[in-house]
Amino acid sequence: MRTLCLLLILFPAFAGAEEAAQNSPLAEGKQRFETHCGICHSLALPKSQRLDRATWKWVIDDMVNEFGAVWLTAEDQRLILEYVVKHYGPE
């Protein structure tokens, strides 16, 4: 019974932490990366690269300015950049 009471007390804290993680900028960046970048190409190539921040920034700028991904807002670009640098940056 004590264990059940403890779980009932702690569960909302864990659920709140999970919800906060899903609403984090990195989670937002992941969602935008998968949605927007996956429109034009497979995500296998960008996921396999280990580029630094400056090179990822160049790639995103190139996708917008040279390849026509003009629907990407400045906020989309910022969140995607943070996500790819964190997850697909140099090891």
pLDDT in tens, 47-85: 999 999 999 999 999 999 999 999 999 999 999 999 999
**Which structure tokens are listed for 2?**
């004590």
The three-point CA angle 52-35-17 to 5° equals: 80
The CA distance from 66 to 15, in Å, is 43
Answer with the residue of higher pLDDT: 6 or 72. 72
The CA distance from 59 to 41, in Å, is 13
- pLDDT band per the 50, 70, 90 thresholds, residue 22: low
Instruction: Please answer whether residues 87 and 49 qualify as being in contact, where contact means their C-beta atoms are separated by less than 8 angstroms.
Output: no
Instruction: Compute the mean pLDDT over every residue in the chain, rounded to the nearest whole number.
Output: 82
How confident is the model at residue 25, as a pLDDT? Answer: 81
CATH number assigned to the domain with residue range 25-88, chosen from the 4 options 3.40.1000, 1.10.760, 3.30.1490, 2.60.40: 1.10.760
Residue 7 reports pLDDT greater than 60:
no
How confident is the model at residue 66, as a pLDDT? Answer: 96
